[in-house]
Each structure stands twice: as structure tokens, then as C-alpha cells.
Amino acid sequence: MSNRVFAAAAFAIALAIAAASQLITNEFFFSAAYTVLLYVILATAWNILGGYTGYVNFGSAAFFAIGAYTTVALFYAFKAPLFVTIPAGTAVAGLAGLGLGYLTLRLRGVFFAIASLALAVVLFTFVVNWDFVGGARGAYVMQPAEVPFGLKRYIHLLFAIQVLLAATALVIARAIETSTFGRGLAAIRDDELAAESAGVPTLKLKIISATVSGALMGMAGTTFPYYLSYIEPSSAFSLSYAVNSIAMPLIGGMMSWMGPLIGAVLLGTVQQLVQVTISSAWNLLIVGVLLVLFVTLAPNGIMGWVEAWRQRQKNR
Amino acid sequence: MEISTALLLNAIIAGLLLGGFYAAVSVGISISFGMLDVVNIAHPGFIILGSYIAYIVNTHFGVDPIAVSLLLSPLFFLLGMALYRVYYLCFEKRGQESLRGLAFFFGILFITEVALILIFGVDYRTVKTAYADTTLRLGVVDFPLRLVVPFLVSMAMVVGIQLFLTHTFFGRAVLAVAQDQLALRLMGVNPVRIKELAFALSIATAGVAGAFLIVIQPVEPSIGREYIGLVFAVCVLGGMGSIWGTLLGAFVLGLAESFTSTFFGPSWAPAVSFGLLLFALAFRPAGLFGR
């Protein structure tokens, strides 16, 4: 399937889902589905650098929060609407990815990983001390009273936007995967030294990959302040975003765009259920345990099983 | 703002005392990350675990937390051996340590944190010690014993580790693992075994550092995260795997944090270590005292 056909199909499906969701009357569905889709975007974005390029980013929460706080800052400063803040937040997070990548991707991969964690803490401290966006007290971003497109409630609009953003992330991920750029990334992942010797401009590709990945993570955060109407630093920078965006691609499988999607939908749905039925601390424990189990016992994730099964069918 | 001499002196002394504690916190990372090339991001998790064990024994039996941690360090040693076994079999042996090994340790860190939250909740816990409320005064300078005691024990531990690494066969083997594993094999030493024991030693220091931590300040499960940046900052600043470098890096960080909280306010302190780390990685990745 060519990328153009895939993109058309993805957006058609996204619009269909957004339209069909209007038949659903259960309001919990929208907030749960919004969160699961948020994880689809985060996991897909993480996988561009993590799965395709082989560099671990522990700072997903930082990029996510950059998106969220760009929305807050623009809203406070200019009452900027979502169609402005979404691209703005995406761009700022992309710039952060570019900067972090430029500074640390020349070093061994582990330094990038540690620096990404460092970025999360530095930005957290910065936001806590930044009074314009509410500092440690948090900021209120009221959902507009009027909902466009004849939708019933604002969360319906957020859900529809989130479906489209998730489709965008998946289209970008798949386009990267099938391009020369993506093959360059795979070469870096498999053997960076060999790639460099073969003439792959490794540093440039890594930095572009970090930029795209960071931008998409930021995109996931841009609608978040509206979703809660209230945002505070410790929820925006929550470690659970970092853990989930690593766990989901690992569990789904890191080699293709489908892995993070499967991982995010599965793990995200399970978490929504556990959060309602048991407690949110337990649901984090489950994510952590699943992450460790999969990474030790099934390093290629669910897609790895599918792949192995296909191979066996072929050889039969 | 006028800076008085007393304020300045106090900031320096507090920074040095804090630095001594940071040395204990990071010496384990200098061993595991700096020498063995095992990127154990879960290290702070074991520090907090050490804090909670010291807390439990202290509240139930009234034993001094630092004494508890020293007595129980063999347990942490065994835990470290087991953890390295899993890490070696699942990642190092298959050559997957760079991505999946990192994710593994991240998962372990997360599990310890969440498990401690489930058991103890998010309340801050403190211990009772004979010396916690005493402060010695020399002229205008304060020496709070809750910082002095961990400082002294930490110095003893770090110097002890340095002597052990440079003066025993095992210690030299650890240093050799970092340099040339093949040569070590030819000398009839199994590098995996050496790494296992050295990694166990690094986890044992985490347990002791945890007891220091809870003597110095109240502890809750998620403060471990703040120490991730700190331990790696110290390790990188100190030039990766040099124990004296670690000590110097720890003092640099202790002073930097102490000055930041004295002159800019404590809410900025957490950014110091991470900021220094980002700075070091960007401009001087070999560390301040790197070879």
C-alpha cells in the first residue's frame, strides 16, 4: 500500500470513528478513549526514535508537558484557540527534541537516555517556578461553552481531534518506516558504526528522528489542558507517560508502526479498566511488571509472536 | 542582596557535607555504570528501598538506621547478584543491553517506586536517631550532626572502596573488566563473575546510602527520581568510573546545590544536578577530571 493510500485510509477511518462515536451515549467512553488515543500518539512518537533508531527516550513526559504548557501559555497570553496551539505546541516540542538531540546524540546512546530524563526534571523545576502558567499551583484552562460542528459536548470535539492526531502520527510513522530515511534509521539501530562507514549521515538522521519524535509527543500534549480544564506540573510531567510510552511499543513490538498501536490500545484499555475497578497505583504497577516481563521474556513483543507464527506458516 | 560571610561559610560547609552524602549515593553508579558499563538507572530505587528498610527496623526496634544498613548490606549484595544474573542472561549475553537493558532497569525502578507507594503510601517517613536534633557550632558555622554523621560514614565507605579496588586482586580485576575483558579471561578470571560481584557491591552501597538519606531528610517513595540525575551527573563529572573523581564530582554538586538553595531558593535545587549533567554531556562528556 502506498503511503498516500494509507494516509487516505487512515484519515477516512479516523473521521468515521469520530462520526460513529456520536452514537455512543456513555460519557466515560469519551474520556477513556481520549486517554488511550493519547497513548497511541505517545507510543508511536517514542517508537520513531526508540524502535526505528534504537535510542531510548525517558523524557516523554517532558515533551508531552511542553505541548501542554505551550497551550496554556498561549491561552493565557492571547486566548489562542486549539487550531493555533496544536501546531505551536508540536513545533516547540520538536525544537526541544532538536536541541536535546543536537547536544547529546553525538555521544553513546545511554547518554541521550540519561539526558532525556534530565530534561524532564529541569523543565519540571522550570514550570514549577514559572508563575505565568500557574507554577506549582497549576493553571485553569476553561473549555469553551460553545462546541463547533454541532457536537454535543466539548469532550466529543477533543476526542475527534485526538483521533485525527493519532491518525497523523501513525501516517508519519509508517511513511518514515518505508522511506530511505527509515532505512537509514534501521541501519543506525542495527549497527551504527557500519552505517556511518557505509555513508549514512548518522548524526543528521538521528537528530531528525529525535525532532520528529519530540514534536509528535508534544502534539499529544496540546489538547490535554482542555481535557482536564486544569493542569499542574506533577500531572503533566507524570512519570507514567514516560513508562507507558516505553512499555507500549515494547509490548506491541518495535519494528513497525503497528506495534505501538497494538501495545497502546491493549495496555491503555487495560489501564482504563483497572483504574476504574481497582486503583491507579495498581495500574502503574501492572505497567511496570508487564514492561519488565516483556522485555526479558518476549523482547520482540506481540508483533514478534505474529511474525514468528507467520514464518512457521510459510515454512510449512 | 548582600552576602554575609556567615551565610557564605554556612553554604560552603553545608555543600561539602551534602557532597559527602552524594558521594555515597553515586559511588555505586561509578562502579556499575563507570566500570562495568551496566547502566543501572534503577540505582535510586534501591537507595529508597534502603531508606524504607532502615525506617522499618528503626521504628520497630529503635536501632540506629545507619547501623541497620551496614548490618543488612549483605542482603543488598545478594539482591545485586541476583539482579545482575537476570540482566546478564537476558540482555548482556544477547547483546541487547543498550535498548532493552535500559528499559529493563527503568521498569525495575518504576516497580520499586510503585510497590513502596502501595505498601507505605505517599507520606513522608522519618527515623529517630540519637544525634538528629543536635547541631554543633564552631563560631558562626553550623555543623548539624544529621549531616555530619552520614558524611563521616560515607567518607569511610568511599575511601574503603577505593582502597579495596586498588589493593586487592578482586578489586584490580574489577578495574580490568572495564579495560580489557579478553585479557582478563586469559588470566584465568571469569569477567562475568567479577562483574556480578562488583555489581552486587554497587547495590550494597545503595542500601547504605538509603539509610543516610532517611537520616538527612524525610523520605517518600518517589523522591528517588531526583537522584537519577544526581548520580549520573556525579559519575559523568567525575570522569566515569574513577572513585576519586566521583568524590570530587559529589563535592561540586553538593556545593552547587547548597549555593542554589541559599541564594535562589530551595525550589530551584533539583534543577541544579540535571542542569550540570546536561551541561557536562553537551560540552565536556569526558568529565571534569576525565582521562
How far is residue A176's CA from residue A173's CA, in Å, rounded to a whole number? 5
- What confidence score (pLDDT) does residue B289 get? 59
Whether the pLDDT of residue B2 is over 70: the answer is no
Residue of chain B whose Cα is closest to the Cα of A118: B274
How far is residue B22's CA from residue B44's CA, in Å, rounded to a whole number? 12
Residues of A with Cβ-Cβ distance to B276 under 8 angstroms? none
Residue of chain A whose Cα is closest to the Cα of B276: A118
- What confidence score (pLDDT) does residue B291 get? 47
- What confidence score (pLDDT) does residue B235 get? 87
How far is residue B187's CA from residue A258's CA, in Å, rounded to a whole number? 49
Using CB atoms, pick whichever of A117, A281, A295 lies closest to residue B228.
A117
* Contact check, Cβ <8 Å, B271/A299: no
* Contact check, Cβ <8 Å, A103/B282: yes
Look up the pTM and report it: 0.88
- What confidence score (pLDDT) does residue A259 get? 92
Whether the pLDDT of residue B282 is over 80: the answer is no
- Of A50-59, A163-172, A276-285, least confident by mean pLDDT is A276-285
Residue A296: band (very low, low, confident or very high) from pLDDT cuts 50, 70, 90: confident
- What confidence score (pLDDT) does residue B239 get? 80
* Contact check, Cβ <8 Å, B271/A122: yes
Residues of A with Cβ-Cβ distance to B100 under 8 angstroms? 250, 295, 299
Residue B285: band (very low, low, confident or very high) from pLDDT cuts 50, 70, 90: low
- What confidence score (pLDDT) does residue A69 get? 93
* Contact check, Cβ <8 Å, A295/B100: yes
* Contact check, Cβ <8 Å, B271/A126: yes
Residue A173: band (very low, low, confident or very high) from pLDDT cuts 50, 70, 90: very high
**Cα separations (Å) of B182 from B58, B69, B167, B188?**
46, 36, 22, 10
Comparison of pLDDT for A78 and B50, the residue scoring more: B50
Residues of B with Cβ-Cβ distance to A129 under 8 angstroms? 267-268
What percentage of chain B reaches a pLDDT higher than 90? 33
Per-residue pLDDT tens for B79-112? 999 999 999 988 888 777 678 888 899 899 989 9
Per-residue pLDDT tens for A48-72? 998 898 898 988 999 999 999 999 9
- What confidence score (pLDDT) does residue A98 get? 94
Residues of B with Cβ-Cβ distance to A122 under 8 angstroms? 271, 274-275, 278
- What confidence score (pLDDT) does residue B290 get? 54
Using CB atoms, pick whichever of B226, B232, B267 lies closest to residue A129.
B267
Whether the pLDDT of residue B284 is over 60: the answer is yes
Q: Tell me the range of A212-216, B87-91, B277-281 where mean pLDDT is highest.
A: A212-216
Residues of B with Cβ-Cβ distance to A243 under 8 angstroms? 106-107, 110
Mean pLDDT of A260-288: 86
Residues of A with Cβ-Cβ distance to B285 under 8 angstroms? 107, 111
Per-residue pLDDT tens for A135-152? 888 888 877 777 777 777
* Most B CBs within 10 Å, among A57, A131, A296, to test the B interface: A296
Using CB atoms, pick whichever of A54, A246, A295 lies closest to residue B98.
A54
Whether the pLDDT of residue A34 is over 80: the answer is yes
Residue with cell 505551550: A70
Residue of chain B whose Cα is closest to the Cα of A105: B282
Instruction: Single out the residue of A285, A181, A222 nearest to residue A94, CA to CA.
Output: A222
- What confidence score (pLDDT) does residue B178 get? 77
Rounded to the nearest integer, the mean pLDDT of chain A is 88
- What confidence score (pLDDT) does residue B16 get? 93
- What confidence score (pLDDT) does residue B97 get? 67
Contact partners, residue B97, CB within 8 Å, separation at least 6: B38, B39, B87, B91
Per-residue pLDDT tens for B36-76? 888 898 999 999 999 999 999 998 988 888 888 898 899 99
Contact partners, residue B216, CB within 8 Å, separation at least 6: B21, B146, B147, B150
Comparison of pLDDT for A21 and B159, the residue scoring more: B159
Whether the pLDDT of residue A248 is over 50: the answer is yes
* Contact check, Cβ <8 Å, A285/B275: no
Alpha-carbon distance B208 to nearest alpha carbon in chain A (angstroms):
24
Residues of B with Cβ-Cβ distance to A292 under 8 angstroms? 104, 107-108, 111
* Contact check, Cβ <8 Å, B278/A103: yes
Alpha-carbon distance A56 to nearest alpha carbon in chain B (angstroms):
6
Do A259 and A174 meet the contact criterion of CB atoms below 8 Å apart?
no
Mean pLDDT of A284-298: 87
Using CB atoms, pick whichever of A113, A128, A281 lies closest to residue B118.
A281
- What confidence score (pLDDT) does residue B25 get? 92
| ipTM value for the complex | 0.84
Whether the pLDDT of residue B273 is over 80: the answer is no
Q: Any idea where the domains of chain A sit in the sequence?
A: 3-315
Mean pLDDT of A229-243: 86
Residue A19: band (very low, low, confident or very high) from pLDDT cuts 50, 70, 90: confident
Comparison of pLDDT for A280 and A305, the residue scoring more: A305
Q: Any idea where the domains of chain B sit in the sequence?
A: 5-283
**Cα separations (Å) of B245 from B153, B232, B256?**
19, 13, 16
Whether the pLDDT of residue B3 is over 90: the answer is no
* Contact check, Cβ <8 Å, A111/B281: yes
Domain spanning A3-315 has what CATH number? 1.10.3470
